[in-house]
Amino acid sequence: MDSTELDRNAAAMVAPGKGILAADESTGTIKKRFDKIALESSFESRRAYRELLFTAAEAERHISGVILYDETIRQQAADGRPFPALLASRGILPGIKVDAGAKALAGFPGETVTEGLDGLRERLAEYRALGARFSKWRAVIDIGAAIPTPTALEANAEALARYAALCQEAAIVPIVEPEVLMDGDHTIERCEEVTDATLETVFDALFRHRVRLEGMVLKPNMVIAGKKCPKQAKPQQVAEATVRCLRRRVPGAVPGIAFLSGGQSEAEATLHLSLMNRVRELPWQLSFSYGRALQQSTLEAWRGNPGNVAAAQRVFLRRAKLNGLARDGSYEAAMEQAAA
């Protein structure tokens, strides 16, 4: 294992002022996103959309890396350049989603375990040859009356740790993503309790599997009330609860934490990140690895129309820039109107 390269790339992924674009929607998920703009999902429409994102001028000022899907890492821009090479030429690290999705955990109704470990060593070698320098594996933890169970947390943590160890063996930085869902009507306190238990279990497994903390990036949920909870927490409360929870559970050797947006609006996700970055003396970088919160307005501006590409790229750049500002706490909610 080349720990120097791993550590260097992990630090680059969470470099100040920048964050990660999650453009790794599976074929099923991107179809759902395209359905909302009444666009047919095809090999070509998916390619055209990713080209729009990856060629947006100046994006490299705010975007450190892009997570790709298996189909996308093999696709090319209209001028024939493979997407990973195009990104690398702009100083953006190409990444790859390697999990095979969350599947029902036998014996545990309502809970899942993420699959994809079989053959992973060989797939990582291929992805590395295709240009991937980091990867992502997402575990999904749902909150309910009697879930999550310790067994589901442990099964998911074990898979995350085995994945992370295999990535580091292949000189690929693992993004370790345990996502506690914001679906449901749970309170922010319940989210904090479950996120705390999840992170404790995940870091315990990472230690046992000898994962090098300096060469990984954590991608957690923010601590936030469930979407259907009648008592929604204020942005400052979300920021404080999230930082408190992470401080208790994430060792300072981890270079950075890149949040998922998980169903928050673009403005909410940016504001929460900015507020968190106003907290002083954090041991790690606090960054973003947003999917929906970086793409929603871009998709709406594009709508599959080639004539809208330039306008959609401007929308994307603006969103990336606002999140870049949130990296040091200098984003203000009022900028949404000002920059519109």
Q: Does 94 bind ligand 13P (CB under 6 A)?
A: no
The only residue of 159, 216, 257, 260 in contact with ligand 13P, by rule CB under 6 A = 260
Sole residue written with tokens 């230690």: 207
- Tell me the site size for ligand 13P, rule CB under 6 A: 10
Annotation marks residue 177 as catalytic:
yes
Q: Which of 172, 310, 284, 193 is nearest to 241 (CA)?
A: 193
Compute the least distance from the CB of residue 50 to ligand 13P, in Å. Answer: 15
- Interface with ligand 13P by CB under 6 A: which range of 160-168, 290-298, 299-307, 317-325? 290-298
Q: Which H or E run contains 134? A: strand 134-141
Compute the least distance from the CB of residue 67 to ligand 13P, in Å. Answer: 6
Residue 288 to residues 20, 34, 37, 129, Cα–Cα distance (Å): 6, 23, 25, 26
Q: Does 262 bind ligand 13P (CB under 6 A)?
A: yes
Q: Does 261 bind ligand 13P (CB under 6 A)?
A: yes
Q: Which is nearer to ligand 13P, 228 or 248 (CB)?
A: 228
| Site string (4-43) toward ligand 13P, x via CB under 6 A | ------------------x---------------------
Compute the least distance from the CB of residue 126 to ligand 13P, in Å. Answer: 21
Q: Which two tokens stand for residue 267?
A: 């403005």
- DSSP of 190-251: HHHHHHHHHHHHHHHHHHHTT--GGG-EE-PPP----TT-SSPPPHHHHHHHHHHHHHHHS-
Compute the least distance from the CB of residue 286 to ligand 13P, in Å. Answer: 15
Residue 283 to residues 19, 184, 256, Cα–Cα distance (Å): 17, 32, 9
Cα 46 to the chain's mean position, in Å? 19
21 within 8 A of 50, measured Cβ to Cβ? no
Compute the least distance from the CB of residue 290 to ligand 13P, in Å. Answer: 4
The only residue of 293, 325, 326, 335 in contact with ligand 13P, by rule CB under 6 A = 293
Catalytic residue among 51, 111, 177, 192: 177
Q: Does 65 bind ligand 13P (CB under 6 A)?
A: no
Give the nearest residue (CB) to ligand 13P.
291
Q: Does 180 bind ligand 13P (CB under 6 A)?
A: no
129 within 8 A of 87, measured Cβ to Cβ? no
Q: Which of 13, 139, 138, 127 is nearest to 71 (CA)?
A: 127
Q: Which is nearer to ligand 13P, 142 or 145 (CB)?
A: 142
Q: Which is nearer to ligand 13P, 287 or 307 (CB)?
A: 287
CA angle 138, 180, 68 (to 5 degrees): 25
Q: Which is nearer to ligand 13P, 52 or 180 (CB)?
A: 180
Sole residue written with tokens 């580091």: 168
Q: Which H or E run contains 43? A: helix 43-54
Give 122's contacts (C-beta < 8 A, 6+ positions apart).
Answer: none
Q: Does 93 bind ligand 13P (CB under 6 A)?
A: no
Catalytic residue among 18, 219, 266, 321: 219
> What phi, psi does 274 have (nearest 5°)?
-65, -45
| Site string (137-176) toward ligand 13P, x via CB under 6 A | -x--------------------------------------
- Interface with ligand 13P by CB under 6 A: which range of 57-65, 117-125, 191-199, 286-294? 286-294
Annotation marks residue 219 as catalytic:
yes
73 within 8 A of 131, measured Cβ to Cβ? yes
Active site residues: 177, 219
- The residues that touch ligand 13P, with contacts defined as CB under 6 A, are 22, 138, 177, 260-262, 290-293
